[in-house]
Amino acid sequence: MKIAQIASLAESVPPKLYGGTERVVAWLVDALVELGQDVTLFASGDSGTPATLFPVWPKALRLGRPRSDPNAALAAQLEAV
């Protein structure tokens, strides 16, 4: 089965600091890959995952320097999916 998982661009997956939703996404993706599913994760490029990573934006928005325009990042995510 092919599964696409879309994560927030605010934090990497798994998050480097706080990021409850991103941590749950990481656990879910890890478990699905472990079960043998074909998973693609649409997330920031600094994410680490055993799934196929489609980097929508180079770095997580919250910790990225210089600050990126969140609207441009979200538009890129909509276009990618």
**How do beta strands 38-44 and 2-6 pair?**
parallel
**Cα–Cα distance between 17 and 80 in angstroms, integer?**
26
**Cα–Cα distance between 66 and 19 in angstroms, integer?**
20
Collapsed DSSP state (helix, strand, coil) of residue 8: coil
Segment among 6-10, 23-27, 75-79 with least mean pLDDT: 75-79
- pLDDT category, 75, cuts 50, 70, 90? confident
Catalogue the E-assigned strands of 1-81: 2-6, 38-44, 52-57
Q: pLDDT tens, 14-68?
A: 998 888 899 999 999 999 999 999 999 999 999 999 999 999 989 888 876 677 7
